[in-house]
Amino acid sequence: MSNRSTFQPALHAEWIKIRTLRSLVGSLGAVLIATVAFGALTAADGADIDPLFAMFFGVSFGQIAAITFGVTAVSSEFQGGALRQTLAAVPDRRRWFAAKATAIAVPVLAVGLVTGTVTLLVGRAALGAGQDRPTWAEGLRAAVGCGIYLTLMALFAAGLAAVLRSGVATLSLLIPLLLIVSFVVGDLSGNVADFLPDRAGQVVLHGDWGGSLGPWSGLAVTALWTAGALCAGAWSVHRRDA
């Protein structure tokens, strides 16, 4: 039997789990609502900050919903012996984890791209008087980058959840990290903070950036963090008892 013919049923099963779990659907809705709402408020405020980032400022809050989605999708498998039942149907643990990651990535990317587009349109309309509107090229880059960034962060969280095997522990680690780094040391540039996953990935949302990373190189750094987390998660699932 080919890998494709065995992967598709696993992916279909994981998609059914995500589609039928209300908390996961709610998290996806929260990504859109939080990002657009906080972005519009910041853009309308007219503060003396980068207009493009003002429009996409809500991503700082929308990403919390995205990582919650990734964490919940994985951590639910470690409750009540669910993983043992899953592995009874899909004995190849790596293939199952790949299906889980794909089932997480596809809806988050779709919602993230919609979120980026709506944020761009609402944000341009809400920009305060006297603020220069970013070009459509800058806005399109940020909208696409928004979708990619949210997807990477959801997968990063999913990988960590597979290692820690606890949704509470994973969120207790990630949420303070994201909020503290973004709001306390986020204004520092040219140091190690620029290479943290959230700081690096959010460069794509800025019209001006002063650090060592650009929009796409920043997303590449976040992608490396995500790949590392997923590899660690796959190793943990493969080596540890269900």
Q: What is the pLDDT of residues 97-152, one digit of tens each?
A: 999 999 999 999 999 999 999 999 999 999 866 677 899 999 999 999 999 999 99
Residue 60 pLDDT: 92
Model confidence at 2: pLDDT above 70: no
Residue 188 DSSP symbol: -
Distance separating alpha carbons of residues 94 and 125, to the nearest angstrom: 46
Give the total number of structural domains in the chain: 1
Q: What is the pLDDT of residues 38-55, one digit of tens each?
A: 999 998 886 667 899 999
Q: What is the pLDDT of residues 88-108, one digit of tens each?
A: 887 888 889 999 999 999 999
218 CB burial (10 A radius; 0-12, 13-18, 19+):
buried
Helix (H, G, I), strand (E, B) or coil at 47: coil
Per the structure, the complete domain to which residue 44 belongs is given by 3-239
What does the mean pLDDT of the chain come to?
Answer: 89
Residue 1 pLDDT: 47
Most confident range (mean pLDDT) of 15-29, 68-82, 132-146, 184-198 is: 132-146
Distance separating alpha carbons of residues 120 and 141, to the nearest angstrom: 10
pTM of the prediction? 0.92
